[in-house]
Structures are given as structure tokens and as C-alpha cells.
Structure 1
Amino acid sequence: MPLIIPRDLIGEDVLQRENIFVIGENRAQSQDIRPIKVAIVNLMPKKEETEIQFLRMLSNTALQINIDLIRMGSHNSKNTEQEHLEKFYKTYEEIKDNKYDAMIITGAPVEKLEYENIKYWDELKSILEFAKTNVYSTMFICWAAQAALYYYYDIDSEVLDNKIFGVFEFEKLADDKILKGFDDEFLVPHSRHTYVREEEVRKHSDLKILASREDTGVGLVTTEDNRFIFSFGHWEYDKETLHNEYIRDLSKGLKINLPKNYYKNNNPKDGITIKWRTSGNLFFSNWLNYCVYQVTPFHIEEIEKKSVSKFGGSSLSDAKQFSKVKSIVLSEDERDIIVVSAPGKRDSKDEKVTDLLINISELKESQNKIERVLAELKEKFIENEKLIDTTVETIKNRFKNIAIDLNLDKKTFEEIENSFKDIESSQSRDFIVSRGEYLNAKLMAKYLDYEFIDAKDLINFNSRGEIDFEKSYENVREKMSKGKKFVVPGFYGRDVEGNIRTFNRGGSDFTGSIIASALNSKVYENWTDVNGVMTSDPKKDRKAETIPTLNYDEFGKIIEDGAEIYQKEAIAPVREKNIMIKILNTNNPNSQGTIVKD
């Protein structure tokens, strides 16, 4: 059946292409039926495009429909000619005394803004209030659905990081006349950044959720009497609408994912498959037929007020306030739907119940996180304990195997066991790390039948963490008597409090150079795994040759360039006494090595 719209609103070629059947007002008045009066509050920027989309949907019924287009008088559209708006659109001030069988309020690209910050919010609130009294059934689309739930029921939406974008399949969650003839599952295009939770809607007994998904939130909600329809999708969308949005966002450099379940093979180059047109036509047809035409009074002036009364937390803060609310509610029979907030503040020092409940929720969430962290830490602690035990056994067996192969006495094995007991009970990193040198020196002293001297009894650090050379030299001269033979662990000494203090890696070089300097040695031999200082890395270059002699500066420069053959700090003590350094190969003792001297 036809739509009754202003002449010249849409060109004849477009009407024919879109199969929109229209008639003029004179012919409509000559027919013995009352047309349904429908207002479309168009909040979209491209109003002419949106007009066609909704008129196409409304024309697919057997009903005669009279259309009024409504715009926001408090906002000037930048994407539609002002002449078009003034010729074909009315403002709230022009329709505020009218009655309508039905009204559609479209979505709007303002969903990331706070409602109170939207320029036309006060005017839209007037229209929402108008709909309660002067419209039998109102459909709110996308953002308008969120705005209406907020205005009527104090239900807020959440702004998401990623856009809900594409064609989504919904399961029919409840039977309702607006879904009459629908399959159990149906498809709806969505394009929005906001999300309304099911649990917030279910708090209101007047509301019924017909479709919802975890990733989109509620998709379709109605009041029990179908006077309000909240549709979060866009059944009215054209084939190319989502594609155009996708290209637009890409061109702006916005973060946008490919619309889901929209392109063939999920590839824009393969084209678009329309999957929502059948359910969309049925949805609008059911709405106009079952929710409007069959229940709206013949005399439109008799439309009863859709009364929704919302009482805030301050109005319900205690029993006394409840009593006041009851008196207000019962003073008028029309107050048939009451929306309440949680108890608010009773005085300036009080707290709102919702804030306290939020605090409980946040504390519980924090507790859950702490429990998870504690469980993870406990698991990690047990794992580390096992790893410590395994690693201790690995190192201990390595020393024991050396002792076995060297046929060392039973006392040596006792010393190994005692050292690892000390490691297990210690929390000092320096002490634990130093035990490798300590035990190796113990084994070597036994094997050579030399005397063992602990490095902590020779090398001292001062209060600044620097080596106290004077004290260290004094210790060496005092404890290392001439004519005796000693094995000393490298890499560590002791601090002013008597605790083990390690050098940097390679610190055994430093230990040797300090002892050599203290004893005024003629030569300091440093045995390693290469034939002295090489011209290049022998592991990478077979042609690498040994450098026979270097002075201290040349030696220091080679170390600075990355050679890991000697610790640079260990040069100074021997250089000070002009002690020759020999770099020799343990695996090739006959090699001449490299001599370092000035």
C-alpha cells in the first residue's frame, strides 16, 4: 500500500527504482480508510539517504501511511541543503500538538558524547517526552535506542574500543508479535561504538529482551506493550552502507576492522551479499501491522499516555522518601510504569548505595585478582623450589664427579655437601655466586696438596664498594709466607661488614693481579683457552695468529674493542709494579702465548 509523502520529496526515478509506492494527499483523502500517521525524526547527517532507506521499509506493507519528517530545530545539518530541510521537514515546535500512530527516531553519529553535551539533547528530550503522550508506538534506532533507554529507564551504555561493525546473527530469545514469522535465527547490520549490557535491561520488568549477543550487547528490546521498540541494528541499511562507512573510516586513518559477515569470502573485492533484507521487511511490517495498526484507536486523538515515571536515588533514600513517592504515584492513575534508582544520599556526608555497591564489586574484583596472583605465585614458588633442588644437585654432582675422578679423600665430599647446605640456607647473591670459585679452589688445593686460602681473607672492599688495595696488599703479604704454596679462589673478597662481595664477571683476573702486585711478582700468568691474544677470533677465523707482544695500552685497547681475554680493571695493579702479564693456553702449554709489558 502507498505512502503519503510531500510532493517532490523524492524523484520519480528513485521511487520506481526503490519500489516505493506513494499517492498524493487528495487521493488519500478520497479513500474510505484512515492512513496511519508516522513521524520520522531524522537525526542522521545525510538525511536524504536515510529518508529513502526508511521509506523503502515502510512501503512494504498493505497499509496507507502518512509521513511527517522531523528535524532538530536547535541544530543545523551540514550535509543536507537547508532548502530541503525547510521544504520537507518540520520541527518539534510545529508538531508538538499532533498525535501519531507511530514514530521512528533514527540513529545519530554522537554516541561517544555524553548525552548532556549534545547540542540538541534538550530538544530531543522534549520529543521523547512527547512520544509518551502523543505516539502509540515509537521505534528507536541504534543511538536513539540507547538515548531512550537512558532517558526513560536510566540505563547507560558503554563506549567500546573496537566498533561493533558488520552483519550479526541473533537468536530469537522470546516470542513477540513484532517477530512473528521470524526464523529462530536472523541477521541484522550493526555499526556502533557503544554497548548496553543485558543485566542492566533485565533489572526492569517492563522491558523484554528479544535478541542479544555477548559481543554486541542487547540487539532488540521492547516494552511489554510494544509501545517502545529499541532496535540497536540497522535493518534499513542499503547494500553499500557498511562498505561506504568502512572506506570512509579507512580514508580518515581511523582504526577500523573489516565488517563481519558482510563481504563474500570476507574479501571486499568479491562483492557484498545482502542477508538482512527479508527479516528487515518483516520486522517493519509486523511493527506497523501488529503493534500500531491493529491496536491504535481509530480516532488518533484518543491515544493514551505512555506513562513512565522515574524516581532518582535522592527521592528514595529512606522510608520517609518512599512514602512521598507512593503518594505521588497513586495521585494519578496514568503512572503505570515506575523506574527507580538505588537509595541515594540521606545527607551530605552519606554515600549512594550504588557507589557502595560499585566499591564492593571493585573490591571483589581486586580480591579475585589477588587470589589469582597468590595462586600463580604459590605455583611459581613450588616450581622454583623444585628447580633450585634440581640445579643444586646438578652443580653438586659436577663437583663430586671431579673429586671422584681425582680420587680425592672423603673429607672433600663432606666439604662439598657443607658448601651446598650453605648455598641452600643463604639469601646473599654474592655468597651463592662465589661458591663456584670457592669449591674449585678447595678441590685444586687437595689435588695439588697446596694450602687453601679463602679470598675473603685476602681481598677487602671499603665502605664505597671499592677495593681497599692497601688493606688487601697487607693481608696478602701477611698470610702468604715465602716458601709455601697456596690455592686462592678468584672473583670475590669481603666488605667492611665481613660479607662476601663479588667482582664483575671475569673477576678472577683481578684477584690474581692484586696478589701478584702485593707480592711484587716478576710475572703474572693468565691461562685461558687460546694461544694468547689473537689477531682475530680463532673460533671464526682459522687464519687468526697470536700476537707475541703488546704494551699495556695496546692490551687495554684490544679489551675495549671486545676481546674477552682479560678483565681491563685487572691491568692497573700489575702495571703499577711493571709486572709482566703472560696470556697462555691451558690446552697448549708449549705455546709462547702473548707477553704484555711496557
Structure 2
Amino acid sequence: MPVIIPKDLVGEDVLEREQIFIIGENRAQTQDIRPIKIAIVNLMPKKEETEIQFLRMLSNTALQIDLDLIRMGSHQSKNTEMEHLNKFYKTYDEIKNNKYDAMIITGAPVEKLEYENIKYWQELKNILEFAKTNVYSTMFICWAAQAALYYYYGIKNEVVDGKIFGVFEYEKLEEDKLLKGFDDEFLVPQSRHTYVKEKEVRKHSDLKILASREDTGVGLVTTRDNRFIFSFGHWEYDRETLHSEYIRDLEKGLEVSVPRNYYKDDTPEKGINVKWRSAGNLFFSNWINYCVYQVTPFHLEEIQQKNVSKFGGTSLSDAKQFSKVKNIILSEDDRGVIVVSAPGKRSNEDEKVTDLLIKTSDLKKRQEKINKILANLKRELNICNFEISKVLETVKKRFEDISLDLNLNEDIYLEIEECFKDIEDSRDPDFIISRGEYLNAKLMAKYLDYEFIDALELIAFDEAGEINVEESQSNIREKIKLNKKYVVPGFYGKDLSGNVKTFNRGGSDFTGSIIASALDSNIYENWTDVDGVMTSDPRKDNNAKTIPSLKYSELAKIIDDGAEVYQKDAIAPVMEKNITIKFLNTNSPDSKGTVVKD
């Protein structure tokens, strides 16, 4: 896809030679695509050469990019005509009220100077501060990476004895979306006299080292959220860039070594061997796609569709959690259908409501057997009656406490009382176990002032005890109207006799999935108490990390491998409609979570 650049910034012959795909501003405005807005703060002396290098990298991405070129207003460039700068560049004062999807700040030939002694340091600090709140993801190149680490984290650089010069091989130290598709080892051009030690970076938990060497220091660092990327190399370099620097230094009489691993057999006379370009193109493409495009908002105001949001039991374990969920729901107007699980654990020592109701159901079964036993077993029957009453009183109090803390009206207490009378009278395990979701949905509907729809009216089972998807989706489309908002209990539906039939544990996932599919939702949100799908169980492994994105097939494999993150059967309905699944954390609603799609 093209880069949008001002007219006459680069000659057509150069664009053709460099294979840079551009588009004019007028044509861009007629396309129904939101361009990615990127600023390049160009600190290099030969600005036109640097422009070409970065335009080449950015134009390889499959997105339309709108570009702003930024220069230092407090510094007069000696190597670029002022006419060019005035025509195509802006200063910080001109862009300080703008917002950008992304920004690149280039290197600069000032690395041996103290930061505070650099003429434009104050202006650059303004830009670094600006990037914190006005740019979604910023990439700092070479010296700019060192300056940014110093400004944001107080990490100082050090001068090396000999210039770090050539094409260096790095090992991929950690998996990250920036390095998606990379081999275990990759090559990066380097040209600098300073470096940052790995041990200094590791003091900051927010920073993640993706590549490092003892002789060059860290090579690639990112913040955990990929909002700041610190790249110490020059993937944007042309074939001749290192050669030109080498010849320039020789002509100045400087003591300089042949750039390492750059010429064939390290012999200048044998010519240049380019071997960093594929990794560089992939790196920039990954950055734009995964760290910018896929996570910055794109508002589609004209599409009126309902999104289904499912909240797990831990998300709704008590009134405080209900309040958090309400804030999440009401923060987005299109969260029109809410699927809830029964209250989960409030602490490690607590029990989930569904577990308690399963226990109630089990006790009911035991009770029925005891009633058939002879008189000498009546004592055990009385004990069982007591245990059932105790457990049900515990469950009942949970719902009453939530209702009381939420200041719900007295009508809900009558519904709770009536529901528990029904539980006491019932011998149907599915009915008993389903009442946690049923009552939690009743409470949430009252709390949100949404309409309650019983899952019995929506989810149908066939004679084999399997979900009748066609009938269920027909019910959903008939009952759920576009201009209303609803709360639906998960986990159960209705069999052919009209009785309650539950899913396997985790069935609320299936309920939400079917509803999302029936309503052709854009997104199916699955809210729990972790930051998405994790690399391992965070309760057992403190080093567990969130997996930012998965395909449907990858999610299925994780489930097959034993992870209890989602009901596997719930994948098919959303996958058939290519509906994006988002795993999100109720207790950390701003976290990015895990996105699942093909």
C-alpha cells in the first residue's frame, strides 16, 4: 500500500528506481481507508537521503500511510537546502497539538556529546514528552534510542574503544510481535561509537530486551506494551551507506576498521554483500501492522451492530466486581448483549457459586437415594438436609449481599426467595446448577436497567442433547432487537421437553459465541480475571506472559493441550462468521488482552 507524501518531495525517477509506492493527497482523500498517520523526526544531516531510506521501508507495508516530516526548529541544517526544509518539514511548534499513530525519531551524529550540551536537546525533550501522550507507538533509531532511554529511564550510554561498524548478527532473545516471522538469528547494520549495557536495561521491568551482544550492547529493546521501540541499528540503510561512511572516514584520515561482515570476505574490493534487507522490511512491517494498525482505534460510526460481551464468574463475584463490569459495559455504547457466568471466587479460599450449586445438586442426588433407604439411615438423611440448607443459605446470601450492596429494589429479593424455593423443590440437576447464571443475570439486568432474557428462550437442544444451532440462532434473531439492550444467563438452554439443560463447565463461552454469531457481531469479548490467553498458568508461573494474538486454530490447540481458557466448542460459531474474539481482564480493562482471528 502507498505512502502519502507532499507533491514534489521526491522526484518520480527516484520513486521508480527505489520502488517506493506513493499516492497523492487528493487521491488518498477519495479512498474509503483511514491512513496510518506517521511522523518522522529527521535528525540526520543528509535529510533527503534519510527520507528515501524510511519511505522505502514504510511503503513495503500493506497499509496507506500519511507522513509528516519534522525537523528541529532550534537547529539550522548545513547539509539540506532551507527551501526543502521550509517546503516539506514542520517544527515541533507546528505539530504539538497533533495526534499520530506512530513516530520515528532518527539517529544523529552527536553521540559523543553530553545530551545537555546538544543545541536542540530541549526541543527534542519536548518531542520525547509529546510522544508519551500524543503518539501510539514511537521507534527511536540509533542515537535517538540512547537519548530516549536516558530521558525516560535515566540509562546512560558509554563510549566504546573502537567504532561499532558493520553488519552484526544478533540472536532473538525473546518472542515478540516485532520479531514475528524472524529466524533465530538476524543481521542488522550498525554505525556508532556508543552503546548501552544490557545489565542497565534489565534494571527496568517495563523494558524487554529482544537482541543484545557483549561487544555492541543492547541491539533492540521495547517496552512491554510496544509503545516505545529502541532500535540501535540501521535496518533502513542503503546498500552503499556503510561504504560511504567508510570512505568518508578514510579521507578524513581517521583510524577506522573495515566495516565488519559487510563486504564479501570482508574485502572492499570484492564488493558489498547485502543481507539485512529482508529482516529490516519484516521488522518495519511487523511494527506498523502489530504495534500500530491493529491496536489503534478505527471508528466505524455508520455500522450499527451489537457486540456481545461475556463476563466470567470472577468478573462478577461480588458487588464491587458488578460495579467494575457496569463501568466497562457503559463505557462502550455498542455493548448491547451481556452474557454472564455465575459468581466466581472472591479469594483463593472462596468457592465459585457454580461449584456450590454443583455441590447442591450432588447433595440432592444423595438425598434422593437416602429417601429410599430404610429407617436406620434416616440420621444420614437429616445430615444431608442440613448440609443442603447450609449450602443453599450460603449461595442465597451471596445473591442477597450483592443485591443489598448494589441498592437494588425489594422486588429482586422476592425473585431470589422464589428461585431458592424452586431449587429446594427440584430434583433436576441441570435446573439446580443453572440457577447461578439465572440469578446473576437477573441482578445484572436490574443493575444496568437492561432487559432480562432467559436462555430458555434462546438456546435450544436437539433430541441427541446437542445444541440445535439453527433453531437457537433463529430464536436469538427473533428475541434480541437491535435497539434494545439485554442480559442473558450463560451455561444452559432448553431441551425438547422444555426443561433446563446445561452445557459442560465453561458453557457460558458457548452461549456468548452463539449469540455473537447469530447477531453477526464484529467482536465477541470474553472477560475474565487474567490479561488474556497466557503462555502458562499465571497462578503457578510468575513469568507467564500474555499472548497478544492467536488464530482460531492456535486457540484450539492451546485448549487441546489442557489450558482451561475457553470452551473449544465455542470457537466454531464465531470462526464461521470470522468474528474477532477478545480475551480481556475485568480487573484491568485497559490491558490489550489477546485477540483471536484468522
Output the TM-score relative to the length of structure 1. 0.50
Rg larger in 1 or in 2?
1
Choose between structure 1 and 2 for higher RCO, CA contacts under 8 A separated by at least 6 residues: 2
Output the TM-score relative to the length of structure 2. 0.50
